[in-house]
Amino acid sequence: MTTEMTRPRIATAPAGSPREGMKTRKRILTGDRPTGERHVGHYVGTLANRVKLQDQYETFLLVADHHMLTTRLTGLDEIEHNIRATILGNLAVGIDPERTTIYLQSQIPEVSEIFVLFAMMVTVPRAQRIPTLKEQMRDLHIAQPSYGLLGYPILQAADILMVKGDLVPVGRDQQSHIEISREIARDFNQRFGPVFPVPDALIPEVGILPGTDGRVKMGNSLGNIINLFDDAKTVERKVMGMYTDPTRIRPTDPGHVEGNPVFTYHDFFNPDTAEVEDLKERYRAGRVGDVEVKKRLAAALNRFLDPFRDRRDELLRRPRIVEDVLEAGRERARAEAQRTLHEMRAAMKLDYFGL
Ligand code: TRP
């Protein structure tokens, strides 16, 4: 895994975007709900990939604050903080706002309008069949979904098709949302004329990083995360408290490496493969204690996170960094949104009175 990054240059609003209706490279759109701090699980699952993709594709990155509301209407005063954390996390790992258009969903009113038009094309049973609906209801103990939650994937389709995204890098859990976006694109094109490319999901092959508690996944709401910006002491404390091989009582017992999150983390974050192999061998043979394995992991993780922390400190020397990035992103994203909406209305013969 590489931590090599280019320095972030922060775009000021570019006057007269050279893109003007012409796409030269394939376009990517992806996004995050502003759930809070970015953690090492986000890095492994999506962020590392994103940083690479921005070199190859024209990239749009949205913070989906309207999507956040589909499952949460309390504590809304925390959202601003979470938006900030989401954006700083992306910037610190190397997303370059000059190459990637970073924008806030709610600042693009056209997305809501596109969503309304798409909503007319999707039947209620189709929306109800999307598996994430039931999963969300189960996980978040929602007895009756709101109309907005039912529409979640349709709003996501509006995000994707608004920029005419060709590729959508997402986790496997989002596949059904890309599927319905494809259906909507095809359906629209068939009914009204060719406006949209049919987007493809781009699902990375990386494994999922388990939580520090050994649960399958790291999650902000699960209390089992290591934040990208945790300080060295905090990282060490979290690592020392990590779940490990529960069958092992003494350091002289032969231990299990497979399925042991401490070693999974070593594999992801410790570039010193000789050290990792040596630890594994001794662990299996009962010749190394958990404490040493964890100490070495904490050291490796801290080395891994150092450049991100430095970058964040550098970014924060500009107090309005997030505001500036969003301002520039809004300009660019809105131009796309307006153009797409215009084409949709024309195709649908809704451009009444030449408006
Ligand atoms: N649903 C996505 C998630 O929770 C976030 C999201 C919103 C998104 N709109 C998007 C992802 C468009 C990709 C494309 O992870």
Does pLDDT of 282 surpass 70? yes
For tokens 């990375």, the residue is 204
Cross-strand partners of 280:
none
The binding-site residues of ligand 1, defined as CB within 6 angstroms of any ligand atom, are: 29-33, 64, 67, 156, 159-160, 168, 170, 174
pLDDT higher at 12 or 258: 258
The closest residue, in CA terms, to atom 11 on ligand 1 is: 31
Residue 353 CA, ligand 1 centroid: distance in Å: 35
229-242 pLDDT, tens digit each: 999 999 999 999 99
For residue 152, give the ligand 1 atom closest to its CA: 1
Fold of the CATH domain 220-310: Tyrosyl-Transfer RNA Synthetase (1.10.240)
Q: Is there a contact between 26 and 167 (Cβ–Cβ < 8 Å)?
A: yes
Cross-strand partners of 30:
61
Domains of the chain by residue range: 3-209+319-354, 220-310
For residue 67, give the ligand 1 atom closest to its CA: 7
285-328 pLDDT, tens digit each: 999 999 999 999 999 999 999 999 999 999 999 999 999 999 99
Q: Is there a contact between 132 and 176 (Cβ–Cβ < 8 Å)?
A: yes
* Dmax (CA) of the chain: 82
> What is the full DSSP assignment across 41-80?
HHIIIIIHHHHHHHHHSEEEEEE-HHHHTTS--S-GGGHH
pTM, rounded to two decimals: 0.90
State residue 163's pLDDT score: 98
50-88 pLDDT, tens digit each: 999 999 999 999 999 999 999 999 999 999 999 999 999
List C-alpha distances in Å: 167 to 32, 161, 236, 255, 330: 16, 10, 38, 43, 21
The closest residue, in CA terms, to atom 9 on ligand 1 is: 156
Which one-letter amino acid corresponds to residue 24? T
Residue 18 CA, ligand 1 centroid: distance in Å: 27
* Fold matches, 3-209+319-354 and 220-310: no
- Name the E strands within 55-174: 58-63, 100-104, 167-169
Residue 281 CA, ligand 1 centroid: distance in Å: 41
Q: Rounded to whole angstroms, how far apart are CA atoms 258 and 213?
A: 16
Residue 156 CA, ligand 1 centroid: distance in Å: 6
Fold of the CATH domain 3-209+319-354: Rossmann fold (3.40.50)
For residue 177, give the ligand 1 atom closest to its CA: 1
And the tokens for 111? 């997305």
Cα–Cα nearest to 244, from 219, 272, 264: 264
For residue 32, give the ligand 1 atom closest to its CA: 5
Residue 161 CA, ligand 1 centroid: distance in Å: 12
- The preferred substitution site among 170, 179, 181 for testing ligand 1, maximizing ligand atoms within 8 Å of CB, is 170
The closest residue, in CA terms, to atom 3 on ligand 1 is: 32
133-180 pLDDT, tens digit each: 999 999 999 999 999 999 999 999 999 999 999 999 998 899 999 999
If phi > 0 it is left, if psi is from -120 to 50 it is alpha, else beta; for residue 354 that is left
- The preferred substitution site among 118, 174, 176 for testing ligand 1, maximizing ligand atoms within 8 Å of CB, is 174
And the tokens for 195? 């406006």
